[in-house]
């Protein structure tokens, strides 16, 4: 099919649209117009009878910039919100940023380091002021990038996790949790970064497989001998026990006895603990409670001492020859000393295992006992699990619920304190005699008391996001109107780290009201081969680069077209190019329609006043509306985009517009203009949530209205379903497709005109003769017409005169060459399949492959023989 051209039919109209779509000339202008017109601003008091719909944006880091994961996440949310606005909802999409404690402090500290200074040179108060200054000058770059993508957020409600309203919310919920005994301070094992010098949350630790060294050590001697293995030999300096399984007969005689711990001059007990796997290794494990989370739990069960043998920077503090060594320097030194004592049972050997690294600086994380603040999560996590189990919150896709339950049902107490200066400072004060007080946000601490120096984990304040952004703890109009939020859209990778925390705090703070009704999870953006995007792999794609080259619409459409619920999303540049071509196709089709008088004025003609082709496209349009509605309600953006893409390109542009060209040139033009306007009007509205810019430009040109942003969402009209018209046009499409295939097989160019006689007999396709001739480039048979080929298809006989249209001799030579190759392929496959020795020894897959070769070759032979038979006879002489 050809792209609609600029050729004019009678009564053509002047059109303001440029001949080509240039996204850069449209997107910025349209976005600023939308914002200045207040089209994205929600009003809790407006239209009280309209349903409310709200989404709070997962707050990007203040240090961040738009990456493909953001682009996918925001495109999904924007599509949801734009559609709901069109459906008449009072819709709020609330933007904001996270203060990103560790990341932001690192950025500012690096800036200070350029001047040879550290935060300690400034002092805490001056350093925090410096961070606020950086935030005002350089932070939040991603907000401008969100505009480039087309995010229809309500900028009047922009929030920040450290602004005054959010700070009040943090103080309020901390006080409430503290008073309810759900916040406590204790020594526990936590993730510690020796570079950032702070505790880390689980999400701030990235695990990667690394090749380490596994060494087997002998503790004790003689009958008391026991062998353990470790990749962290330096931690044996802090061992306070060896653990075995209670049912392991090999070690029953040792349980309760003391054995010698090499290099230390200490003895340690052997304890029985069910955590030990007797089938793994020797069935005995060293226990270092102060430096391993599993060992810490064993230590608590057996009341073992906590022996810290390295400081906050990972330097060994245990008295002896290793004191002062970095942990990685101490490791080979300890192994060498053990070897000298004859304690190495098995020499050091390579061993690949998962190693945790700080997300911000890539330093290897050290498990470490530390005095920290914790949230007691058991009652909160149970409530979060119950809300999904009893249906108050739906997880989509549903199969992701099992992962959610696995996390919330096994959650450990949450370490919420961080040893930073940037963040919400722990609102606890200490008195001169050890007294502790936690005043509320409107209360003053006692004079002279000292505030805790730590700040709260970033996830603590972002866990309040669904309600703190709406005004909580005040009973604001926004909170009453838009809470609970309608849907949370986020990647499955932070289902536990963020979503579960919001569930816990939302249910707690809002007296059992859930923070969102639906959790819609999407996958990770990957390259076209399904590989994770990584700078080290060299496959990272910058969405802003695609926006610059192909436009925001093409970028969004590429992402959403791959967004199957819960699945990862592969992307490739050629797909973005294809999406740009799709936008251009819509542009050209709409421009053609406008030039030929398409409009949306007045009522649509009744079915009886329209042609079969008109009724067919209206029937298909209404089916597509129903399908897209169902797909979007199910968060299946990939299917919705595929449905719209194929309807727009294949059916509207490649079939209806081409057939409409015939009708626009005769007495049917008036009705066809109205139908063409109707189809494009609704198609552009259906596409608007996904590709907002090009649809706005085209729809306003077609409708004459100011914006499609608040235009009504199309509703399917069952009365327009016309099964007979769909059947007839489907037959017409099959006929045209078959003749095109025949033309191609004969070597005819798509635009090459060929004389043909059409014998419709009693076929209902007779009414489409003019359209058939237009689509197939068939001219009327003239004087001396002589058919050289006859093709019966769909009850119609098409007789063509291809003499002179092709080089018969050359075409025959080409076909005969291809036929000879096909016959040779078939002969080879037959011989193999007839060979008993081959059939007896060859794997089934190889035999099947040869059967497939034979089958395909036989199909090719039949096709080529038919094409040769259809060729005109060679000229005499």
DSSP for 349-417 reads EEEEEEEEEETTT-PBPEEEEEEEEEE--HHHHHHHHHHHHTTSSEEESGGGHHHHHHHHTTPPPEE-E
Alpha carbon 49 to chain centroid, angstroms: 34
The predicted pLDDT at position 349 comes to 67
The predicted pLDDT at position 7 comes to 35
Q: Is 546 left (phi over 0), alpha (psi -120 to 50) or beta?
A: alpha
Q: Are 376 and 181 in contact (CB under 8 A)?
A: yes
Q: What are 655's two structure tokens?
A: 């079939």
The predicted pLDDT at position 875 comes to 56
Higher pLDDT residue, 345 or 11? 345
Parallel, antiparallel, or unpaired for β 569-571 and 525-527? parallel
Tokens 């500290």 sit at which residue?
109
Q: Are 327 and 314 in contact (CB under 8 A)?
A: yes
> What are the tens digits of pLDDT across the range 361-387?
889 998 999 999 999 999 999 999 999
What three-state secondary structure class fits 344?
Answer: strand
The predicted pLDDT at position 8 comes to 37
Q: What are 584's two structure tokens?
A: 């251009």
* Adjacent-strand bridge partners of 487: 518
Q: What are 856's two structure tokens?
A: 């395909």
Selection from 576, 563, 665 nearest residue 79 by Cα: 563
Q: What are 107's two structure tokens?
A: 């950025």
Selection from 366, 350, 362, 348 nearest residue 210 by Cα: 350
Cis upstream peptide for 143 (omega within 30°) = no
Cα 196 to Cα 297, 313, 366, distances in angstroms = 26, 9, 12
Residue 177 DSSP one-character state: H
Confidence of residue 354 (pLDDT cuts 50, 70, 90): confident
> Is the model's pLDDT at 2 over the cut of 60?
no
The predicted pLDDT at position 540 comes to 83
> Is the model's pLDDT at 743 over the cut of 90?
no
Q: 178: which residues sit within 8 A by CB, 6+ positions away? A: 428, 438
∠ at Cα 635 (629, 640), nearest 5°?
50
Q: What are 264's two structure tokens?
A: 């230390």
Rg (CA), the chain: 36
Q: 108-132 b/e with 16+ CB inside 10 Å = b? A: bbeebeeeeeebeebeeeebbebbe
Selection from 716, 596, 615, 697 nearest residue 656 by Cα: 615
Alpha carbon distance 10, 834 (integer Å): 67
Identify the burial level of 140 via C-beta atoms within 10 angstroms of its C-beta, where 0-12 means exposed, 13-18 middle and 19 or more buried.
Answer: buried
The predicted pLDDT at position 3 comes to 37
Measured in degrees and rounded to the nearest 5, phi and psi for residue 434 equal 90, 5
Q: Are 509 and 182 in contact (CB under 8 A)?
A: no
Alpha carbon distance 549, 434 (integer Å): 63
Handedness of CA 152, 158, 161, 167 (dihedral sign): negative
> What are the tens digits of pLDDT across the range 691-742?
999 999 999 999 999 999 999 999 999 999 999 999 999 999 999 999 999 8
Alpha carbon 571 to chain centroid, angstroms: 11
Cα 709 to Cα 186, 679, 765, distances in angstroms = 53, 18, 41
Name the percent of the chain lying above pLDDT 70: 96
The predicted pLDDT at position 841 comes to 87
Mean pLDDT of the chain: 92
Alpha carbon distance 335, 363 (integer Å): 23
Alpha carbon distance 169, 188 (integer Å): 27
CB atoms within 10 A of CB 715: 11
Residues flagged as binding site: 535
> Is the model's pLDDT at 6 over the cut of 60?
no
Confidence of residue 347 (pLDDT cuts 50, 70, 90): low
Name the percent of the chain lying above pLDDT 90: 76
For residues 450-466, average pLDDT = 96
3-state helix, strand, coil in the chain (%, to 5): 45, 20, 35
Confidence of residue 815 (pLDDT cuts 50, 70, 90): confident
> Is the model's pLDDT at 353 over the cut of 90?
no
What three-state secondary structure class fits 574?
Answer: helix
> What are the tens digits of pLDDT across the range 56-103?
999 999 999 999 999 999 999 999 999 999 999 999 999 999 999 989
> What are the tens digits of pLDDT across the range 236-246?
999 999 999 99
* Adjacent-strand bridge partners of 267: 260
The predicted pLDDT at position 150 comes to 98
Confidence of residue 141 (pLDDT cuts 50, 70, 90): very high
Q: What are 315's two structure tokens?
A: 């330097």
Confidence of residue 534 (pLDDT cuts 50, 70, 90): confident
> Is the model's pLDDT at 356 over the cut of 90?
no
Q: Are 228 and 285 in contact (CB under 8 A)?
A: yes
Q: Is 764 left (phi over 0), alpha (psi -120 to 50) or beta?
A: alpha
- Residue ranges of E strands in 194-249: 198-200, 205-219, 226-230, 241-244
Cis upstream peptide for 473 (omega within 30°) = yes
∠ at Cα 19 (18, 24), nearest 5°?
55
For residues 209-238, average pLDDT = 88
The predicted pLDDT at position 14 comes to 66
Residues flagged as binding site for ATP: 535
Q: 735: which residues sit within 8 A by CB, 6+ positions away? A: 765, 772, 793, 794, 796
Domains and CATH numbers, the chain: 47-162+376-408+460-521 (3.40.50.620), 198-367 (3.90.740.10), 573-721 (1.10.730.10), 730-870 (1.10.287.380)
Alpha carbon distance 63, 103 (integer Å): 7
The predicted pLDDT at position 764 comes to 93
> Is the model's pLDDT at 10 over the cut of 50?
no
The predicted pLDDT at position 5 comes to 36
């Amino acid at each position: 099919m050809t792209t609609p051209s600029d050729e004019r039919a009678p009564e053509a109209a002047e059109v303001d649209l440029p001949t080509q779509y240039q996204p850069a000339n449209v997107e910025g202008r349209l976005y600023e117009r939308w914002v200045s017109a207040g089209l994205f601003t929600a009003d809790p008091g407006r239209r009280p009878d309209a349903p409310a719909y709200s989404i709070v944006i997962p707050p990007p880091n203040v240090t961040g910039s738009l990456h493909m994961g953001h682009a996918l996440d925001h495109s999904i949310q924007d599509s949801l919100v734009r559609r709901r606005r069109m459906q008449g909802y009072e819709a709020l999409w609330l933007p904001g940023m996270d203060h990103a404690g560790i990341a932001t402090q690192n950025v500012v500290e690096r800036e200070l380091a350029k001047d040879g200074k550290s935060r300690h040179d400034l002092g805490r108060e001056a350093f925090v002021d410096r961070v606020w200054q950086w935030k005002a000058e350089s932070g939040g770059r991603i907000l401008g990038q969100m505009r480039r993508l087309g995010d229809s957020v309500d900028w009047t409600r922009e929030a920040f996790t450290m602004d005054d309203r959010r700070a009040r919310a943090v103080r309020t919920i901390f006080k409430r949790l503290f008073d309810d005994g759900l916040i406590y301070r204790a020594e526990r094992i936590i993730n510690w970064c020796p570079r950032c010098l702070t505790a880390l949350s689980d999400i701030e630790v990235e695990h990667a497989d690394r090749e380490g060294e596994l060494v087997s050590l002998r503790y004790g001697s003689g009958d008391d001998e026991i062998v353990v293995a470790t990749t962290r030999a330096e931690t044996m300096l802090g061992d306070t026990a060896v653990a075995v399984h209670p049912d392991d007969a090999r070690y029953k005689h040792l349980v309760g006895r003391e054995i010698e711990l090499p290099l230390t001059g200490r003895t340690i007990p052997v304890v029985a603990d069910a955590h030990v796997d007797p089938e793994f290794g020797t069935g005995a494990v060293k226990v270092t409670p102060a430096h391993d989370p599993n060992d810490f739990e064993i230590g608590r069960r057996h009341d073992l001492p906590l022996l810290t043998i390295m400081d906050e920077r990972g330097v060994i503090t245990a008295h002896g020859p290793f004191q002062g060594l970095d942990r990685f320097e101490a490791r080979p030194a300890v192994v060498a000393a053990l070897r000298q004592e004859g304690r190495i049972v098995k020499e050091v050997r390579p061993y690949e295992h998962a190693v945790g690294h700080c997300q911000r600086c890539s330093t290897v994380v050290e498990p470490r006992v530390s005095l920290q603040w914790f949230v007691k999560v058991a009652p909160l996590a149970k409530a979060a699990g119950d809300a999904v189990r009893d249906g108050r919150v739906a997880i989509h896709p549903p199969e992701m619920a099992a992962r959610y339950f696995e996390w919330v049902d096994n959650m450990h107490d949450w370490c919420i304190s961080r040893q930073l200066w940037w963040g919400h400072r722990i609102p606890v004060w200490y008195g001169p005699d050890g007294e502790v007080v936690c005043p509320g946000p409107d209360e003053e601490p006692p004079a002279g008391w000292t505030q805790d120096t730590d700040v709260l984990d970033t996830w603590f304040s972002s866990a309040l996001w669904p309600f703190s952004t709406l005004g909580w703890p005040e009973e604001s109009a926004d909170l009453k109107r838009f809470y609970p939020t309608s849907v949370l859209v986020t990647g499955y990778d932070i289902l536990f780290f963020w979503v579960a925390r919001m569930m816990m705090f939302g249910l707690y703070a809002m007296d059992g009201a859930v923070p969102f009704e639906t959790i819609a999870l999407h996958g990770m953006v990957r390259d076209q081969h399904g590989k994770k995007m990584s700078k080290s792999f060299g496959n990272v794609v910058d969405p802003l680069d695609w926006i610059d080259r192909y436009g925001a619409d093409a970028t969004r459409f590429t992402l959403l077209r791959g967004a199957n619920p819960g699945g990862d999303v592969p992307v490739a540049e050629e797909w973005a190019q294809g999406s740009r071509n799709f936008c251009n196709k819509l542009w050209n089709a709409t421009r053609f329609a406008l030039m030929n008088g398409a409009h949306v004025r007045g009522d649509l003609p009744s079915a009886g006043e329209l042609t079969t082709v008109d009724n067919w496209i209206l029937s298909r349009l209404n089916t597509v509306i129903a399908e897209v509605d169902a797909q979007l309600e199910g968060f299946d953006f990939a299917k919705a985009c595929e449905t719209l893409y194929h309807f727009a390109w294949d059916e509207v542009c490649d079939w209806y517009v081409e057939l409409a060209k015939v009708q626009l040139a005769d007495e049917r033009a008036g009705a066809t203009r109205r139908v063409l306007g109707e189809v494009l009007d609704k198609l552009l509205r259906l596409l608007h949530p996904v590709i907002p810019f090009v649809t706005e430009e085209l729809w306003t040109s077609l409708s004459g209205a100011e914006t499609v942003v608040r235009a009504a969402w199309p509703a399917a009209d069952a009365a327009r379903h016309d099964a007979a018209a769909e059947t007839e046009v489907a037959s017409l499409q099959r006929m045209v497709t078959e003749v095109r295939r025949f033309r191609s097989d004969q070597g005819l160019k798509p635009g090459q005109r060929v004389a043909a006689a059409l014998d419709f007999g009693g076929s209902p396709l007779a009414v489409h003769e003019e359209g058939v001739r237009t689509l197939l480039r068939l001219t009327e048979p003239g004087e001396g017409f002589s058919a050289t080929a006859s093709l019966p298809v769909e009850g119609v006989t098409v007789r063509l005169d291809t003499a002179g249209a092709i080089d018969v001799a050359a075409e025959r030579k080409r076909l005969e060459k291809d036929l000879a190759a096909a016959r040779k392929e078939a002969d080879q496959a037959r011989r193999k399949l007839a060979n008993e020795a081959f059939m007896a020894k060859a794997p089934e897959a190889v035999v099947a492959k040869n059967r497939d070769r034979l089958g395909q070759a036989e199909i090719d032979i039949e096709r080529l023989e038919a094409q040769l038979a259809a060729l005109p006879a060679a000229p005499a002489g």
